[in-house]
Structure 1
Amino acid sequence: MAFHHLSVLRNETVRALVGDVAGIYVDCTLGGGGHSFALAELLAPEAIIIGLDQDGDAVAAASERMKNVPCRFIPVRRNFRYLGETLDELGIDRADGIMFDLGVSSYQLDTPERGFSYQHDGPLDMRMDTNGRKNACDVVNTYSEADLYRIIKDYGEERWAGRIANFIVTARQEAPISRTEELVRIIKKAVPAGARKDGPHPAKRTFQAIRIEVNEELAILKEAIGTAAERLKPGGRIAVITFHSLEDRIAKQTLKRLAANCICPPDMPVCTCGHRAVLKVSGKAVFPSADELTANPRARSAKLRIGTRI
């Protein structure tokens, strides 16, 4: 299957990110190269774009797409938690712009063999890095009922987390759960019929939760945004696109903290933290236009947040 992914908020992101057209830019979530390609169209030949992605299919697709851009493009198959190490290895101290496009790609969702989708049957995998040790099958079949409840509740914000966790544990006692279709059937049984009539697909939140657990998506986000802010040149910009409330809350709070001159508790009479702002954060989040939502309904939950290095 060809790598296909529509980059969300593409024009808004690259226009906000680019300052020096001859600068150094990092796309921490390369995907199919949509944002990087749009960046390249705005940059001079002496500019550099570094693209990170832990998905080998994404790196291959983006490298093909970027092969004729005028500026230098450096693809790196690596999770963005290693942003600092990557820049060090390339001999780059600071960048002019760093962006994150969080979540799962259309290609990953639409490729049944990757096991991300509750709408296509496939192996219960969900690894963004196919070399990763833990997959969704491990989570579903080895986690305790309490741990399943925790991740479905915390990462999926699922009202029926307790029932779903219980139904999973009961089902796997008869035979291991190895296919996405099997898991969807179990979730549908667990969610009361009345609750299935309205709202999103009953398996959506649970699949999101398991995917986040497999890929440790939220655990690394705060630190990665902090590293990106530290590695920006003065005037350099950070752009973060989020797709659900959990990652957006982390992005918003982390950027707010990086833009604060004091992070002491509100009841402290005198500042003792010594914290100083490193970013100036743009006010409200940017949302997709009506035209973009018509062309790409999956963009409906996207938010773009921008910060500028002081």
Structure 2
Amino acid sequence: MIRRALQNTFSLLNVDYVKLSPKWDYRNVISPYYRIYYIDEGSGELSDQSDFLKLEPGYLYIIPSFTLCNLCCKDHLSQYFVQFFEESIDGVSLFSQRRSISKITATPLDIDLFKRLLEINPGRGINRSDDPKVYEKNIFYKEYQELNNQQHLASYMETQGILLQLMGRFLKSQLHLGQGIQHFPIKITETIGHILVNLHQELSVTALAARVNQHPDYFSRQFKTFTGERPVNYILGKRIERAQYLLATSRLTYSEIATQIGFDSLSYFSKSFKKLTGMSPRTYKKQLYKVG
């Protein structure tokens, strides 16, 4: 029997059904979690740095984590939405090859899945306030995680199953995979895990190659073959993703975040952050507060 273990799980943040007005108009939104929408009435707009999508009834939309995008409602819009964190055993996100917005035609089952998700997760909307200064804080992320921990095992497993089904709909579309998912060699998988656990340490290509008994040049080529990036670029990207997560979910200072993710100086951290995200850490944090 061939057994295949799932590498990715999800941690529910919010799920709700809402009716929106033109006040729902936010630019340069970027969050450390996923969003999936099902539109059942009205219209709106969703765009990122490369794509523009019309929000319209009968479609599912996904915004992967760490995807810079714009959200807009011109008149009225009603939607089911779910927000959740992705957790990966090997550190490889399902959308690591293409972090961009996507749109697929919804099915009756998709609608039933959203309704069931709401039924087994009552009170998981953004209930305190529409102001992200209130709801996008570390204390509330921890509170939602505690709700997941307290959930009955049957409901928790069903929630995982529904999120897997919704994610599977977008994976099946192949919109973000390009060449498709490859099976990583154990040495590459182990190296990725080592990188993610030790972002605060010095991570040279020479040292990483030595850990798996490979020549640095060969190791670097193999790493790029299976991740799409050279080790140095991959490490920098993961450090900046971790910084985005910490900016959204903690009260650490910029200097403390820089130290935690392996930067020797705040200026180099700020320069690298802006290079990869298009904005400074300070501007990024302000943009988080504009998400509705």
User: Same fold judged by TM-score > 0.5?
Assistant: no
Structure number with higher relative contact order (C-alpha < 8 Å, ≥ 6 residues apart): 2
TM-score by length of 1: 0.28
